[in-house]
Amino acid sequence: MGSRYPAVKIGLVSISDRASGGIYEDKGLPALQSWLSRALKNPLQFEARLIPDEQATIEATLIALVEAGCALVLTTGGTGPALRDVTPEATLAVAHKVMPGFGEQMRQVSLAFVPTAILSRQVAVIRDQTLIVNLPGQPKAIAETLEGLKDADGKPLVNGIFAAVPYCIDLIGGPYLETDTAVCKAFRPKTAIQTIL
C-alpha cells in the first residue's frame, strides 16, 4: 500500500572544500536527511551532492537539481563572511525571486544561541517551481534553524523556518507537504489545508 501523501524529491547540497576533498567527513547531508525524514510524512527521494566552495559549481548544481524536479533544495555551508564562502552569491545568481523572510528568520533563531549568527548570510530564493534555502553548516544549527525554539512544554518560542516551507511550495505549484506536528507544525491558512484520507 502506497502513502496517502505525494512523493517529494528534495535536493540536498553540502558545500565544503575540505569535506568534498575528503579531508573530513561531511555531517551536513546526514543531518538534513535525518531531520527531513522525521519532519515530513511524504515519501521522500533525496538527491544529495557534496561539492567544493566554487560559485560556478554551486550554481550549476542548484540549476541541475531544479531541472531534476526537486520541489525543495536545501544547502548547508558556505554562508559566512570568509573569502571562500560564496553560497549566497551562487544562490542569488540562479534566483527568479528572492524570499528575504527566510534569511531574516534564520538569523533570529540562530542569534538565540550564538552572537556570531549576525555574520551569517543565508538566503532563500525561488527558481521555477523550486524553493532553494541556504542553511547553516553545523548539524545542531541546521536542526535549530529548521525547527525553531520550544519551551519545556513544547510550545514554540521562536518559529523555525520550515513551518513556512510547505505553504510556500503550495504557492509555487509544488507537491503538498505534510509535516509531523510533533517535529514541526506547518503554517497554512485554513483555506489551504488539505485533508488527505
Q: How many CB atoms lie within 10 A of CB 44?
A: 18
CA distance readout (Å), 158 to 46, 146, 147, 151: 28, 11, 9, 9
pLDDT of residue 197: 54
Which DSSP category does 29 fall into?
Answer: H
Residue ranges per domain, the chain?
A: 8-192
Strand partners, 158: 149
Task: Give the orientation angle of helix 100-111 with respect to helix 139-147, to 10 degrees.
Answer: 110
CA angle at 142 for the pair 155 and 66, rounded to the nearest 5° = 115
Convert the pLDDT of each residue in 85-120 to its tens digit: 999 999 999 999 999 999 999 999 999 888 999 999
Q: How many CB atoms lie within 10 A of CB 7?
A: 12
Three-class SS of residue 139? Answer: helix
Name the CA dihedral angle for 29, 127, 194, 75, rounded to a multiple of 10 degrees: 10
pLDDT of residue 22: 86
Q: Which residues of the chain have pLDDT under 50?
A: 1
C-alpha cell recorded at residue 158: 521562536
pLDDT of residue 60: 98
pLDDT of residue 1: 43
C-alpha cell recorded at residue 164: 513556512
Query: What superfamily in CATH does domain 8-192 come from?
Result: MoaB/Mog-like domain (3.40.980.10)
Q: DSSP states of 45-99 as a string?
A: EEEEEEE-S-HHHHHHHHHHHHHTT-SEEEEES--SSSTT--HHHHHHHT-SEE-
